[in-house]
Amino acid sequence: MENLSLHDAGPPGPPPPGQQQQQMPPPVPQLPPQMFTTAAQLLDLTDKKLMIALRDGRKLIGVLRSWDQFGNLVLQNTVERMFVQNLYADVERGLFLVRGENVTLLGEIDLDKDDYVPEPYKLAPVGEVFALKKAEDAKAKKTDLSKQKKLAAIGFESEHHGEAIL
């Protein structure tokens, strides 16, 4: 059986008697497979170490073991990396299921540069980084609340960031 594509020409020769030769419209250009942005693109990343940035700002590092048509991901040996000021800490999370709609960015980690840490960052104990992160988040929440009040005073409705409004 022949393997034909859209770019293969038809059989050579004149048209059969009684038929006029019709000009065929030019073929529709096809996108290369690299242009697809569906979940099928994850096939190349299966069993590779990835860094995933989530909607809520968390960063996960783990090995992609499985995925589905919705972009839901199963990561193995997952670590959550927290950054605060010039410090970072890794929190072991193990097997992790990520809902696809929460992924904002994902990329393969170059294993040759896996242990490289950029200059200003230093590894710190998880407790210290967690406490600093909690204080930073509380300060950001207070600033956001102040902004929301100012915007509400001039007629803008705020987004409530998933908090219950009573």
pLDDT tens for residues 44-84? 889 999 999 999 999 999 999 999 888 899 999 999 999 99
29-46 per-position pLDDT tens digit: 776 665 666 777 788 889
State residue 131's pLDDT score: 94
Q: Which residues are paired to 81 by β-bridges? A: 59, 90
Reference 122, options 91, 85, 78, 79; nearest CA is: 85
| Entry pTM | 0.67
**Burial tier of 45 (Cβ tally within 10 Å: 0-12, 13-18, 19+):** middle
Altogether, the residues listed in the chain come to a count of 166
Which strand (E) or helix (H) includes residue 51? strand 49-54
